[in-house]
Structure 1
């Protein structure tokens, strides 16, 4: 039986990828940004913590989808996915190798569980997916785990509610547990934290709100499920809504978790960088 053992939440700031790709992690600006992941890199390198598969929840930034097709939830079921060209060439990172049998199983299970998933058999994956992999695994010749991409629309309204994302996480956990292969699976929720990229509030960062969100990932996840979209927009900026993707990860871990690691750093570009590692305890 496959099992979900842990969850990782992290921002997917493009600048993290720039620092890693250009070997600039020693520079004063980048050093504390990459240091946020030092603990996690050591933890995940230990054999008992290494996942066979990562279900990576992210949002596409107009690389695979545009205004013509806007899936609310999409799962990648192809054998592999190439890094996307986001306007300055693809990142120099490995191909993403999927666990296609598990991805297809999850897709079927979710659809029969009344989630209308979009199945994607061809797409490139952008920084939303590759930056978290680089932050945790560095610059390997091949990613040391299989990766199932799960894309969420948090770019164009309407976007899914936090509660719907939580329920999807619970359904993913049921799907994984019904897969008849001995696999250790992690689920990662990416995006956020507070930031706004345009308009009069460009550069907005709400550290107090972010820190409470990090607290309540463990202490009061029920509160997070009920946060309305307007609160994300008002308190965390237009792009802060990405944090609903963290709730897919959190819902998949079940009611009881233990916080293993937390990091928070401002600024990372014009964004607040948040990072959590949670262990499933029941």
Structure 2
């Protein structure tokens, strides 16, 4: 049967892609962030996952404010990256895993989640940059993709509790998958940041560290706030922590072991972090 080998959580700021393009990884501003990735890469090289189930949020390539699903699952044979206007290169395309996607969709619907199914889907920097950070020299991505998009943009947002429940429903679905894949769970986004309005530039290290301290052993602690409270604590874009909460749920209800953790502030007006978890 399939096995979850671990969970990879990281920020997906477009500015990170710019730093990669410019070769700024060892400059004083960027080095503390990029220093978090050698342990991730070594672990991935040893574990060799076959497929990644990635919880992220769309930034306008697939959904806009007039049509914004709460939860959407990709069921495509492949996923292309596209130009978002950040001046970044178009990244490599991803191979999908339609059979596993449909298994997840079927199971989630039986678990009474109302899922938007996407048989064509683009991926933006929320997926491509974390993969570029993990496999910087790969000529093609060495892993198949099952993308799950969570609305972190348009009111009303799903609650942290509902996102944790979504992740746990994904975990149950993976436990019933008949394949032998080694599965990597990913959560991308955040941490605290606000890009617009009177609080533009807002970051909250205290809340970020609260999330990081509880992610492995006590993810329920992250569900004690409403979405509005999360926006107040983390900033209006910092609600991307919902992606991390869902991904942690997909690791299962048991405790996880923190293998690696890095936190740096600021990266392009964002508190950035990278965490690697393994099932305990």
TM-score by length of structure 2 reads: 0.95
1:113 paired residue number: 111
Query: How far is the alpha carbon of 1:89 from its aligned partner?
Result: 6.2
CA distance in 2, matches of 1:193, 1:13: 10
Secondary structure of 1:167 counterpart: helix
CA distance in 2, matches of 1:199, 1:89: 24
Query: How far is the alpha carbon of 1:252 from its aligned partner?
Result: 1.5
Secondary structure of 2:228 counterpart: helix
User: Could you tell me whether the CA contact under 8 Å between 2:82 and 2:90 is conserved in 1?
Assistant: no
CA distance in 2, matches of 1:232, 1:159: 10
CA shift in 2, pair 1:24/1:90, >3 Å: closer
Unaligned runs of 5+ in 1: none
CA distance in 1, matches of 2:5, 2:225: 26
1:259 paired residue number: 258
Q: Provide runs of 4+ in structure 1 moved above 4 Å.
A: none
Q: For residues 120-135 of structure 1, what are the structure 2 equivalents within 5 Å?
A: 120-135=118-133
2:242 paired residue number: 244
Unaligned runs of 5+ in 2: none
CA distance in 1, matches of 2:152, 2:239: 7
2:145 paired residue number: 147
CA distance in 2, matches of 1:169, 1:92: 29
With 129-138 and 228-237 compared, the bigger mean Cα shift is at: 228-237
- The RMSD of aligned alpha carbons is 1.4
CA distance in 2, matches of 1:219, 1:102: 28
Query: How far is the alpha carbon of 1:221 from its aligned partner?
Result: 1.8
Deviation sequence 1:27-61 (CA, Å, 0-9, x none): 33222221121211111111xx1211000111011
2:277 paired residue number: 278
1:28 paired residue number: 28
Query: How far is the alpha carbon of 1:88 from its aligned partner?
Result: 4.9
Secondary structure of 1:51 counterpart: coil
CA distance in 2, matches of 1:87, 1:6: 33
Query: How far is the alpha carbon of 1:90 from its aligned partner?
Result: 6.3
1:229 paired residue number: 227
CA distance in 2, matches of 1:88, 1:248: 27
CA distance in 1, matches of 2:221, 2:109: 27
Query: How far is the alpha carbon of 1:213 from its aligned partner?
Result: 1.0
2:38 paired residue number: 38
Query: How far is the alpha carbon of 1:80 from its aligned partner?
Result: 0.5
CA distance in 2, matches of 1:89, 1:275: 24
CA distance in 1, matches of 2:143, 2:217: 30
CA distance in 1, matches of 2:89, 2:167: 29
Query: How far is the alpha carbon of 1:93 from its aligned partner?
Result: 2.0
Query: How far is the alpha carbon of 1:218 from its aligned partner?
Result: 2.5
Secondary structure of 1:201 counterpart: coil
CA shift in 2, pair 1:142/1:253, >3 Å: same
Deviation sequence 1:132-152 (CA, Å, 0-9, x none): 111111142101111111111
Query: How far is the alpha carbon of 1:241 from its aligned partner?
Result: 0.9
